[in-house]
A and B are shown apart, each in its own frame.
Chain A
Amino acid sequence: MELEALQEVHSEIRAQGAQIVVLTPEIERYTRAMHHKLNLTFDMLSDLHLKVAEQFGLVYTLPDYLRDLYKSFGSTLDRFNDEPEYRLPMPARYIIDSGGIIRAADVNADYTVRPEPAKTVRRLKELRESGNDSPPKRPLDRTCRLP
């Protein structure tokens, strides 16, 4: 559902001079199939074994009882994600400015709550209008004294 909703705003994201990528822990053939099925016009990137999600601090391990439940559904993460430890990323959406600094961060421990794509577009627009899509200037950490 989230991918479809992001697709709906993709042209608005592009109109703000921005781009979007979706990182997924699934193995590539599932990613390719999903990308094709949904006719997505943005890239889905394979973050196999959650290497990048880990650097963003998003990875958690499913508790044993939940792992057993998912297994009973046939939703096995070892199969789809090559993830025998049953780790997942918390759903999250970031806006990174052209200087590499995070300007918006939405992270949810509850995976049934996702940030609204429309909110992401609004935030991109604000950044653009403020002419401030570059890193904030670091304040001087030394006091300059006149001689």
Chain B
Amino acid sequence: MPSLQERLDEFKRNFESGAPPFKAPPEIIATMHRATAELEASGAAERALKVGDRAPEFTLFNQDHVAVSSADLLRQGPLVVSFFRGHW
């Protein structure tokens, strides 16, 4: 089973090759690269919370509209929190 990054890299190679189904033109790819380079240069990632920081508590609705609280989950053990951008 390829690793997640291998799968992502494969997708990126296909997308940037300009092949179907995306047929991404080079100028679009250049625009995306520019935006990523600018965000990297801004240092935003370095300003996010880090190891040793206290994590903010949260209560949010899950997919079934049930409220889930991080404090309740942490009472049962460690918690992995993954931030997703969305499916679009």
Contact = CB atoms under 8 A, between A and B. Distances in A.
B77 interface: yes
A140 B67 CA distance: 38
A117 B4 contact: yes
A68 to B, nearest CB: 9
Chain B contact residues, majority secondary structure: mixed
A40 B87 CA distance: 14
Given A23-B81, A58-B48, A109 B63 contact: no
Contacts of A113: 5, 8
Contacts of A103: 51, 78
A92 B48 contact: yes
B54 A52 contact: no
Contacts, number: 227
**Interface size, B (range):** 35 or more
B31 to A, nearest CB: 5
B79 to A, nearest CB: 5
Interface of B: 1, 3-5, 7-9, 11-12, 28, 31-32, 34-36, 38-40, 42, 44-45, 47-58, 60-65, 68, 70, 73-88
A30 B8 contact: no
A66 B35 contact: yes
A97 B78 contact: yes
A100 B47 CA distance: 19
Nearest to B74: A98
Interface residues of A, number: 85
A2 B78 contact: no
Contacts of A80: 86-88
Nearest to A34: B87
When A and B form their complex, which 8 residue pairs have the shortest distance between CB atoms, in order from nearest? Answer: A45-B60, A55-B56, A35-B63, A57-B48, A20-B80, A5-B4, A43-B62, A18-B78
A85 interface: no
Contacts of B34: 65
Contact of B60 (A8, A47, A92): A47
A11 interface: no
B60 A52 contact: yes
Contact of A94 (B5, B35, B81, B88): B81
